[in-house]
Amino acid sequence: MGRTHPPLQVVGFIGTKRGDAERGPAIWLRTDDARMRLLDEGELVWVYGPRRHDLAPVHFNDELPRGSVVVRDLAGVALTEIVRLVKLDVDRPVLDPKFA
């Protein structure tokens, strides 16, 4: 995991409430941090935090410091915690164990 999934620090957390126009899980990071992970705008990633992992779409914000992220509506992370992003692998078929 080391070189392809370097850790990122949460520097911002956005919590939404019912009725907000923009809601749901999302993560913002710098374009160069995303490029290192081969991520495109809007792509789904696994966000691995200290307590759980969730899926969230990627958005770019080059005003963030390198190695940091802002998350929205991800219950498993808090400010200053470390997360890792793992690209969702949709090209590999999921095999049902009963047919393997």
Q: Answer yes or no: is 14 within a domain.
A: yes
Q: How confident is the model at residue 48 (pLDDT cuts 50, 70, 90)?
A: very high
Task: Check residues 60 and 87 and name the one with the higher pLDDT.
Answer: 60
What pLDDT was estimated at residue 23? Answer: 94
Q: Answer yes or no: is 93 within a domain.
A: no
What percent of the residues of the chain are helix, what percent strand, and what percent coil, each to the nearest 5?
A: 10, 35, 55
Q: Tell me which residue range forms the domain holding 18.
A: 8-88
Q: In which element (H, E) is residue 42 found? A: none
Assess contact for 69 and 9: CB atoms under 8 A. yes
Average the pLDDT over 39-67 and give the result: 96
**61-74 confidence digits (pLDDT tens):** 999 999 999 999 99
Task: Check residues 92 and 45 and name the one with the higher pLDDT.
Answer: 45
**Alpha carbons 56 and 10: distance in angstroms, whole number:** 14
- CATH number for the domain harbouring residue 19: 2.40.40.20
Going by C-alpha positions, the residue among 81, 100, 93, 88 that lies closest to residue 39 is: 88
Q: How confident is the model at residue 99 (pLDDT cuts 50, 70, 90)?
A: low
